[in-house]
Amino acid sequence: MSKETALDWPGMMRLGIGKLGLRPDQFWALTPIELAVMAGLDGKPAVCLRARLDELALAFPDEAAMPHEGEM
């Protein structure tokens, strides 16, 4: 395989494991195309991973916190 067609595995690992927060077993189960789609590198928005969904849920809760008994 020539250098021009070799995959940048360290860069792909930084993207998948570092930026997207995938576990190693999840990363290695993906194809390079699936990784690109998850990262939004196919020209479409990236998918929302669980960690990002949790961040958004904390930042924008569905309901206001209920006051404790005796508070108002």
Domain that holds residue 27: 9-59
Please report whether residue 41 resides in a domain.
yes
Count how many domains the chain has.
Answer: 1
Residue with tokens 């991973």: 49
Alpha carbons within 13 angstroms on the beta-carbon side of residue 17 total 12
Q: How confident is the model at residue 24 (pLDDT cuts 50, 70, 90)?
A: very high
Does residue 2 sit within a domain? no
- Residue 63 phi/psi, 5° resolution? -125, 150
Q: What is the chain's percent helix, strand, coil content, to nearest 5?
A: 50, 0, 50
Give the pLDDT band (50/70/90) at residue 65: low
Q: What is the pLDDT of residue 18?
A: 92
Mean pLDDT confidence for 46-58: 76
pLDDT band at 61 (very low <50, low <70, confident <90, very high): confident
